[in-house]
C-alpha cells in the first residue's frame, strides 16, 4: 500500500468508518473532507441540503438556493468536532457568506471557506528492532469557493461554483523527503433549484413543492506524489432531492424532504482491488457500474415563526460502500438577526462512525434587509 493510502486509512479521514471488513470496499478519494457535511442544520436533517429551504450555508449543498433567500445578505460559521471518541484536536470549520446583486434581487454572489484540521500525528519507523521517531506531522485540508446564482424564472434558479482545493496530508513533513507533497487543484459545481408557487394542500392548508439537483467537485485529480499512477480522484458527487412544505399558517411550517446522492468515482475492481486509473470524465462513466454507491437520506423539519425549529433525519448507504447508517436530530433558534443551530448524530450501524455522538454548532448572522421572497415564502 502506498504512502497516500496509508495516510487515508491511518489518519481516519475516510468518511465511512474507523474499521473495514473484507466485504466493505468504500470508494476512496482525495480531499475526502469535501464529503463531510459541514453545517449543523443539515447535520440535523440526515446530512442533506440540496432541496431544503435556503440558509446561509447553502453554498456547500446548492448555491442555486440563494436567489430564493428571504434576507439580502448573511454570514455564518460552523464548528464540527471529528473523531471525538479518539481525539480532541481534529475538527472542521466552515464559514460562508452571500449577498444579492442589483435591485431586482434575481442574482446572488456567495463565498465560503472549509478547513479540516487533522491534529498532530507522531511519525515513527522501525530500524532493526528499534522504533525511531521521525517527527510530527500536522496534516490539514481546505477549500475556498465562489459562486454565482441566478433566478431564471420566478420558480427556478441555477448556480455555478468555482472551488480551489488544497490537501496537505503530509503536514509539510512528507514534502521534505520527496514522498508526499501538498496537492492543489480546482473544481466546479453546477446546480439548480425549483420552488413552486403556493397551492391548496391537505385540509385546506397551503403547500409548495421543492426540488434541487447538483453536480459537485468536478475537476482534475489531486497529485500527492508526482507519480501519474498515484493521483487521486476528487469526490465528485451527484445529488437529487425532492421536498414539500406544508404551510399551516403564517407562523407554522412543516417540511418533508428526501435526497439521493451518488459518488461519481469508480470503485475498486472486485477481482484486483485496484481503482481504475482513467480520466475524470471516463471515471464518471465507470462509476455507474457501481450500482451500490447510491446514498439516501430523509428529513423532517418543523419551524415556528422563523424563530424556532425542530429537525430529524436518517442517512443510509450500502454495507459494501461503507455501511454508514445513522439518525440525526437538531434544533434551531433565532433572535433578531442572529441564529444558532445544534445537531447530534446517533449511529445505528455496526461499524463505528467518525461523527458518532457528535454535537455540531452553527452560528448565523443576517446582515441585510428582507427581500421580495419574504412576502411569498
pLDDT (tens digit per residue) in 191-242: 999 999 999 988 889 999 999 999 999 999 998 887 776 788 999 999 999 9
pLDDT in tens, 137-158: 788 899 999 999 999 999 999 9
For residue 34, tell me if it sits in a domain: no
Please name the residues in contact with 212: beta carbons below 8 A apart, sequence gap of 6 or more. 50, 51, 61, 62, 64, 65, 191, 192, 193, 194, 239, 240, 241, 243
CATH code: domain of residue 357: 2.40.160.40
For residue 33, tell me if it sits in a domain: no
Q: Between 94 and 288, whose confidence is greater?
A: 94
Say how far apart CA 145 and CA 164 lie, in whole Å.
7
Cell 462509476 maps to which residue?
287
Say how far apart CA 288 and CA 264 lie, in whole Å.
7
Mean pLDDT, the chain, rounded, equals 86
For residue 270, tell me if it sits in a domain: yes
Say how far apart CA 363 and CA 41 lie, in whole Å.
10
Check whether 20 has a pLDDT greater than 50.
no
pLDDT at 267: 81
For residue 277, tell me if it sits in a domain: yes
The structural domain count of the chain equals 1
Taken as a whole, the chain contains a residue count of: 377
Say how far apart CA 86 and CA 66 lie, in whole Å.
37
Cβ atoms within 10 Å of 264's Cβ, excluding its own: 26
Check whether 87 has a pLDDT greater than 80.
no
pLDDT at 7: 46
pLDDT at 374: 76
Cell 427581500 maps to which residue?
371
pLDDT in tens, 27-50: 888 898 999 999 999 999 999 999
Cell 422563523 maps to which residue?
306
Q: Between 11 and 282, whose confidence is greater?
A: 282
pLDDT at 21: 45
For residue 31, tell me if it sits in a domain: no
For residue 10, tell me if it sits in a domain: no
- Band (pLDDT 50/70/90 cuts) for residue 350 is confident
For residue 343, tell me if it sits in a domain: yes
pLDDT at 16: 41
For residue 21, tell me if it sits in a domain: no
What cell numbers appear for 82 in the block? Answer: 471529528
Provide the domain limits for residue 163: 39-123+134-374
| Region for residue 5 given its phi and psi (left: phi exceeds 0; alpha: psi -120 to 50; beta: otherwise) | alpha
Query: pTM for this one?
Result: 0.88
Amino acid at each position: 500500500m502506498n504512502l497516500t493510502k496509508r495516510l487515508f486509512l491511518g489518519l481516519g479521514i475516510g468518511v465511512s468508518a474507523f474499521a473495514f471488513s473484507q466485504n466493505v470496499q468504500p470508494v476512496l478519494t482525495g480531499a475526502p473532507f469535501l464529503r463531510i457535511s459541514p453545517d449543523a442544520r443539515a447535520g440535523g436533517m440526515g446530512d442533506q441540503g440540496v432541496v431544503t429551504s435556503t440558509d446561509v450555508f447553502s453554498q456547500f449543498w446548492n448555491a442555486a438556493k440563494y436567489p430564493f433567500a428571504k434576507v439580502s445578505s448573511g454570514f455564518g460559521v460552523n464548528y464540527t468536532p471529528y473523531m471525538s471518541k479518539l481525539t480532541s484536536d481534529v475538527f472542521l470549520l466552515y464559514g460562508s457568506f452571500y449577498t444579492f446583486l442589483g435591485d431586482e434581487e434575481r442574482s446572488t454572489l456567495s463565498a465560503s471557506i472549509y478547513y479540516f484540521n487533522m491534529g498532530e500525528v507522531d511519525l515513527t519507523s522501525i530500524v532493526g528492532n528499534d522504533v525511531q521517531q521521525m517527527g510530527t506531522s500536522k496534516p490539514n485540508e481546505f477549500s475556498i469557493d465562489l459562486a454565482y446564482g441566478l433566478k431564471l424564472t420566478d420558480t427556478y434558479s441555477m448556480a455555478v461554483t468555482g472551488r480551489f482545493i488544497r490537501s496537505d496530508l503530509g503536514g509539510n513533513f512528507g514534502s521534505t523527503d520527496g514522498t508526499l507533497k501538498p496537492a492543489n487543484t480546482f473544481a466546479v459545481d453546477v446546480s439548480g433549484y425549483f420552488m413552486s408557487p403556493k397551492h391548496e394542500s391537505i385540509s385546506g392548508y397551503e403547500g409548495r413543492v421543492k426540488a434541487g439537483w447538483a453536480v459537485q467537485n468536478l475537476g482534475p485529480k489531486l497529485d500527492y506524489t508526482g507519480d501519474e499512477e498515484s493521483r487521486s480522484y476528487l469526490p465528485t458527487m451527484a445529488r437529487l432531492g425532492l421536498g414539500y412544505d406544508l404551510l399551516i399558517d403564517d407562523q407554522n411550517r412543516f417540511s418533508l424532504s428526501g435526497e439521493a446522492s451518488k459518488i461519481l468515482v469508480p470503485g475498486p475492481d472486485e477481482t484486483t482491488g485496484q481503482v481504475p486509473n482513467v480520466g475524470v470524465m471516463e471515471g464518471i462513466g465507470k462509476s455507474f457500474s457501481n450500482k451500490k454507491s447510491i446514498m439516501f437520506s430523509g428529513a423532517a423539519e418543523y419551524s415556528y415563526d422563523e424563530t424556532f425549529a425542530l429537525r430529524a433525519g436518517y442517512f443510509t448507504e450500502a454495507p459494501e460502500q461503507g455501511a454508514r447508517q445513522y439518525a440525526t436530530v437538531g434544533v434551531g433558534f433565532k433572535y433578531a438577526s442572529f441564529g444558532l443551530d445544534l445537531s447530534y448524530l446517533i449511529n445505528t450501524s455496526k461499524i463505528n462512525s467518525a461523527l458518532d455522538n457528535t454535537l455540531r454548532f452553527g452560528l448565523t448572522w443576517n446582515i441585510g434587509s428582507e427581500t421580495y421572497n419574504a412576502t411569498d415564502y
